[in-house]
Structure 1
């Protein structure tokens, strides 16, 4: 004789699974509820990185009035070249153009911040002497004893001071253009290493 087991039939539990459109609507509502400070734009690639707002000193090297000729006439703007640095070994240069000095200076400062270079120092001077040429500008930089100070012209002095160098000897040979000399100085300092190669 076969035994008949009591089979209990479990009632069907209705799942809370909603249709795809309802699921999408829930996601949209969640996104709307996200705090404003956590929202990022569509093309924001910062991935949560916060910009460091460092205090950089700046020195204007030159302000020039530049003109562009159009069919209807001339458009005059101002071009500003400046050096920015933290006096701790980081320095950069930037050029900006704008309708007024303030706008041009802002653009130049933004460019300089993006293109900062780290400079090798030995105490308050450079590790070794070097000669560098950029275009027609030729500069000679030499380390100096403590207390000597900065023996340099205006363009070289601006770059060297903002880099944090306090004792240095320099000589400009060739071009007297302040912009070219500043670029040559910055390039020369960026080539410095702890020891001469």
Structure 2
């Protein structure tokens, strides 16, 4: 619901990537299909895709337009094996990306979104890499290290370490966030009500 992601090693035409790529669905500006889809200009890549899907790849292609503003746009292409699947993905991604409730969600929802991203980027051993936690909070690495060590679950805090998913539950993640960003003023208000 929060992320459009591509796992390492998936896709028949693309070289496998080292890490999971995640795109936040609310950052999608537009989705296109059919004659409005942007197909690859590179003839070698286009031929490789058409060998799998058949000719006329426009109807099978989903183009996702994303970017920080309306000038610096990035076009991502996904090719489906069936044209109906591409049309359905185009429609549903557009509905999800333009949902105002998802863009103006509560703090708890945004924390769940951050936790979901961490769980999508698991290592080969099905563990959360501490490196991804440092990337998520790049401002002060010492505070991140201190917050991890103060979670009480004996979490490793070295950059090359990894945390088993069972040890880093959503509750432990919330404890980590409270240690990282203490908000005693608002916590006392919510505790009263």
TM beyond 0.5:
no
TM-score for the superposition, normalised by structure 2: 0.23
TM-score for the superposition, normalised by structure 1: 0.22
